[in-house]
Amino acid sequence: MDARDCCTTGGFEGRAFDIAVIGAGSAGFSAAITAAEQGASVALIGHGTIGGTCVNVGCVPSKTMIRAAEALHGAGAASRFPGLAGEARVTDWRQLIAAKDNLVATLRQKKYIDLLPEYDGVTYLEGAARLDRNGVAVDDRVIAARKIIIATGSAPAVPDIPGLADVPWLTSTTALELTEHPRSLLVIGGGYIGCELAQMFARTGTNVTLVTRSRLLPEAEPEIAEALTRYLADEGVTVRTGLAYSRIERREGQVALTIEVDGKAETLIAEQVLATTGRTPNTAGLGLGAAGVKVATNGGVVVDERMRTSKSGIYAAGDVTGRDQFVYMAAYGAKLAALNALNGDSLAYDNATMPWVVFTDPQVAGVGLTEAQAKARGFATKASVVPLDQVPRSLAARDTRGLIKLIADKQSDRLLGAQILAPEGADSIQTMVLALKFGMTTKELGETIFPYLTTVEGLKLAAQGFGKDVSKLSCCAG
């Protein structure tokens, strides 16, 4: 079903909407629904496939493929328990891709298309939008609106590598659309997308080489990045860090990337190449310059803490701002933008306790400041690092890959940040979000009751680790 079949697209001539929302992804829908719930009339303007990045080409398709790869790996890893053996393999790659596509289509229908008729105040319009002195131009029509919210999202960035234009390279989108399973893959970029997809393809049988200019997950704590690098290598991923890209070219039906390491050239060859070097805000064709809307050096629309752009009456939210490019932050920022546009700009964007997750295995999750960031802000810091071999849950699972690191202020004992590397780390980080949000100290966290034989109990041990050797505690002690 097309989104245009489910709602009104005409009858708006001469009508002034309270808000025009440009972009029909997670941020756009959040803004439109929030405004409609406030009783506003909303023009929601989409272009292309409704639903945006997350449901169509990002979170949903990648995470279901990652889970499939985990199932494969889990069967083979059963031998860590004495007396067990198992194996699994890909029997039909195309069927796996088709199942992923079916999930995407189902969620797009239920969470986007089917929602539109539920909000009488929302009129969906399809077309390429640009800012106009009278509102928003959608193709050859002009939509009058009192306020405008830009929520056009982002797209995979194009890395600056000589020769790339002449090579058939994959993005995070097209890599998940491959109907033929690649025998070998070169992944360029060591951020969260690169790490996730490199491991996923390796677990499904692809020979993977992951290359990056600096190190894996440069925004993560160094202990966590180093450990994850080891774990990927243990699974057969060749990880190359601290290098420069010289050129890339086609060579006998394959792709050849020449890198420079310590002044020496080396060529890496693979069947396919996947570039995962970040995302670029979608601002082309919007007419931002002519409208007086400033754009940052990273291409994002500049907004203040109230989600206002440099042009009065125009707001922006989500990936198009070039910051906090997570779907939940896009939805959060868009909700604030809509409420501020309608009610007087009273709400401020706050990302101080924004959680983030990398869906590798072990998962990486964090919130708050790293140790380096805390020191840069003038804190006298203290840190506690607890390896998972001190966490009973990990011992029972016979999987002690990972660690937990907490950062606190020496003077006040207040917690400043946390990062977790653990097979179930993603579901534990929200505890630290609440701890930071409500200003807990390490002492308070260490004295909190946690359930035994859970991954989250590791946070209690890490908090206790500021003042004692947790290896000398009995089970549930403290």
Shared-domain flag, residues 296 and 324? yes
Shared-domain flag, residues 243 and 320? no
**Does 46 appear as a known binding residue?**
no
Does residue 182 form part of some domain?
Answer: yes
Shared-domain flag, residues 188 and 210? yes
**Does 193 appear as a known binding residue?**
yes
Question: What is the structure's pLDDT at 473?
Answer: 86
Angle at 409 between CA 408 and CA 410, to 5 degrees: 110
Question: What is the structure's pLDDT at 3?
Answer: 45
Verify cis geometry, omega within 30 degrees of 0, for the bond prior to 156: no
**Does 195 appear as a known binding residue?**
yes
Identify the domain containing residue 426 by its residue range: 356-466
**Does 443 appear as a known binding residue?**
no
**Does 63 appear as a known binding residue?**
yes
| Residue-wise pLDDT tens digits, 204-254 | 999 999 999 999 999 999 999 999 999 999 999 999 999 999 999 999 999
Does residue 77 form part of some domain?
Answer: no
How far apart are alpha carbons 357 and 90 in whole angstroms? Answer: 27
Shared-domain flag, residues 228 and 172? yes
| Residue-wise pLDDT tens digits, 374-407 | 999 999 999 999 999 999 999 999 999 999 999 9
Cβ atoms 318, 326 nearer than 8 A: no
Spell out the residues 6+ positions from residue 86 whose beta carbon is closer than 8 angstroms to its own.
74, 75, 76, 78, 79
How far apart are alpha carbons 30 and 327 in whole angstroms? Answer: 11
**Does 319 appear as a known binding residue?**
yes
The last residue of one of the domains, among 255, 277, 299, is: 277
Does residue 32 form part of some domain?
Answer: yes
Shared-domain flag, residues 371 and 245? no
Does residue 399 form part of some domain?
Answer: yes
How far apart are alpha carbons 314 and 198 in whole angstroms? Answer: 39
User: Per this entry, what is the length of the chain?
Assistant: 478
Shared-domain flag, residues 259 and 389? no
Dihedral sign (CA 448, 449, 455, 461): positive
Average pLDDT of span 75-99: 97
Question: What is the structure's pLDDT at 477?
Answer: 60
Shared-domain flag, residues 370 and 403? yes
Rounded to two decimals, the pTM is: 0.94
**Does 205 appear as a known binding residue?**
no
- The partner residues of 248 in beta bridges, in order of sequence, read 257
Domain CATH for 301: 3.50.50.60
Does residue 14 form part of some domain?
Answer: yes
> What's the domain count of the chain?
3
Dihedral sign (CA 371, 375, 376, 378): positive
Shared-domain flag, residues 30 and 117? yes
**Does 263 appear as a known binding residue?**
no
**Does 45 appear as a known binding residue?**
no
**Does 101 appear as a known binding residue?**
no
**Does 278 appear as a known binding residue?**
yes
Shared-domain flag, residues 254 and 333? no
> By three-state DSSP, how is residue 71 classified?
helix
> By three-state DSSP, how is residue 110 classified?
helix
Shared-domain flag, residues 39 and 136? yes
How far apart are alpha carbons 385 and 407 in whole angstroms? Answer: 9
Does residue 101 form part of some domain?
Answer: no
Does residue 474 form part of some domain?
Answer: no
Locate tokens 């969620």: which residue?
107
**Does 289 appear as a known binding residue?**
no
Shared-domain flag, residues 183 and 237? yes
Spell out the residues 6+ positions from residue 369 whose beta carbon is closer than 8 angstroms to its own.
377, 379, 407, 416, 417
The last residue of one of the domains, among 319, 343, 367, is: 343
Q: How far is CA 243 from the centre of its chain?
A: 25
Question: What is the structure's pLDDT at 478?
Answer: 58
**Does 226 appear as a known binding residue?**
no
How far apart are alpha carbons 274 and 10 in whole angstroms? Answer: 42
Residue 12 pLDDT level (bands cut at 50, 70, 90): low
Does residue 67 form part of some domain?
Answer: no
The last residue of one of the domains, among 259, 277, 295, is: 277
Mean pLDDT taken over the chain = 95
**Does 458 appear as a known binding residue?**
no
Shared-domain flag, residues 169 and 272? yes
DSSP 82: T
CA separation, residue 32 to residues 28, 153, 383, 390, 447 (Å): 6, 15, 43, 48, 44
- Does the pLDDT at position 14 exceed 90? no
How far apart are alpha carbons 210 and 233 in whole angstroms? Answer: 10
